[in-house]
């Protein structure tokens, strides 16, 4: 019987349930500023984006507590997301530290959004717990994700809150914004972007990593295409089949790129030139 040539994901260590991936910071009271708000535990209604506000911190941002991050208000980046029996939101918050330097953070807050994954040994964990794992504990992504500033969970009665704070990817732009440049991109620029993106994604898929929501707005890179990063990893997972991981991600990416002029076929060819993905097929227009 012929052995299957399909590659499988490498083994990774699982964080113990209930054990923090990093040491918790001491609680301090450091917030000053206006437009402070709270994250309600009931389902929110759609609201207008908040006015910009700068929070002045007397201590490093890593010393803030879950409650203090929850009190912060800022620009609503996405509409409230209602799924998995709970809801979540993401706000863009600007802080000025003791050194007077201004830093932008993305504060992700959620209530009662849990999922079961192999990483959590199929116990129900918040989706931000999953994202924090890939931000801090998955070596292949090291240096290719936003810096995780804070993660915290709190359960009271039947309500579980989670807050994840990441630093802004300064100097990087999303593929969505890059493609939306007025006047468009040259054929050479598009071909280069497709080639570099394949070089970045292929090793991750080779190890069974699946992003889960691989859309242009979640792919960031430097102007010279020398460095790539991924955001929004809460739906990420590790699959035994590297082909299935690649197929799921690339199918989503292909659909979202239709009509953009992006040479997806070139990206797909780079995959098929690799023995692990020689038989990779993406259904639809880019098959």
Pick from 36, 37, 32: nearest CA to 57 = 32
pLDDT tens per residue across all 287 residues of the chain: 444 444 433 333 333 333 333 333 333 334 444 334 334 433 444 444 445 678 888 888 888 999 999 888 889 987 778 776 788 999 999 998 877 889 999 999 999 888 787 776 778 788 999 999 999 999 999 999 999 999 999 988 888 999 999 999 999 999 999 999 998 899 999 999 999 999 999 999 999 999 999 999 999 999 999 999 999 999 999 999 999 999 999 999 999 999 999 999 999 999 999 999 998 988 764 54
pLDDT reported for residue 101? 86
Give the architecture-level CATH label for domain 54-167.
2-Layer Sandwich (3.30)
Residues of the chain with CATH 3.30.200: 54-167
pLDDT reported for residue 19? 34
pLDDT reported for residue 27? 35
CA distance 174 to 215: 10
Torsion angle of C-alpha atoms 182, 75, 136, 123, degrees rounded to 10? -120
Q: Model's pTM, two decimal places?
A: 0.81
Q: 173-277 in CATH: which number?
A: 1.10.510.10
pLDDT reported for residue 54? 86
pLDDT reported for residue 284? 61
pLDDT reported for residue 31? 42
Buried/exposed code over 52-73 (b: 16+ C-beta within 10 A; e: otherwise): ebebebeeebeebbbebbbbbb
- Those residues whose C-beta lies under 8 Å from the C-beta of residue 168, and which sit 6 or more positions away, are 92, 103, 104, 105, 106, 146
Structure tokens at 175: 């593929």
Residues of the chain with CATH 1.10.510.10: 173-277
pLDDT reported for residue 21? 35
CA distance 276 to 271: 8
The secondary element (H helix, E strand) that includes residue 192 is helix 187-206
């Amino acid at each position: 019987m012929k052995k299957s040539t399909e590659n499988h994901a490498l083994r990774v260590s699982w964080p113990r349930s209930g054990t923090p991936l990093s040491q918790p910071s001491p609680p301090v009271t450091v917030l000053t500023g206006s437009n402070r708000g709270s994250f309600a535990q009931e389902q929110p209604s759609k609201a207008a984006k908040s006015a910009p506000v700068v929070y002045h911190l007397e201590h490093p941002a890593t010393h803030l507590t879950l409650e203090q991050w929850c009190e912060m208000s800022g620009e609503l980046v996405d509409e409230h997301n209602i799924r998995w029996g709970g809801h979540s939101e993401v706000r863009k918050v600007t802080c000025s530290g003791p050194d007077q330097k201004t830093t932008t953070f993305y504060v992700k807050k959620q209530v009662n959004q849990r999922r079961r994954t192999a990483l959590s040994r199929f116990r129900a964990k918040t989706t931000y717990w999953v994202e924090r794992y890939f931000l801090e504990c998955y070596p292949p992504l090291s240096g290719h994700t936003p810096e995780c500033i804070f993660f915290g969970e709190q359960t009271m009665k039947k309500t579980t809150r989670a807050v994840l704070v990441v630093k802004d990817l300064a100097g990087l732009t999303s593929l969505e914004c890059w493609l939306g440049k007025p006047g468009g991109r040259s054929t050479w620029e598009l071909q280069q972007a497709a080639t570099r993106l394949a070089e970045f994604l292929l090793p991750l898929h080779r190890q069974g990593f699946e992003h889960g929501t691989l859309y242009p707005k979640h792919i960031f890179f430097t102007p010279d295409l020398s460095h790539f990063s991924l955001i929004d990893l809460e739906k990420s997972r590790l699959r035994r089949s590297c082909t299935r991981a690649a197929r799921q991600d690339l199918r989503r990416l292909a659909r979202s790129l239709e009509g953009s002029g992006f040479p997806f076929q070139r990206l797909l060819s780079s995959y098929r030139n690799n023995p692990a993905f020689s038989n990779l097929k993406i259904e639809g227009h880019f098959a």
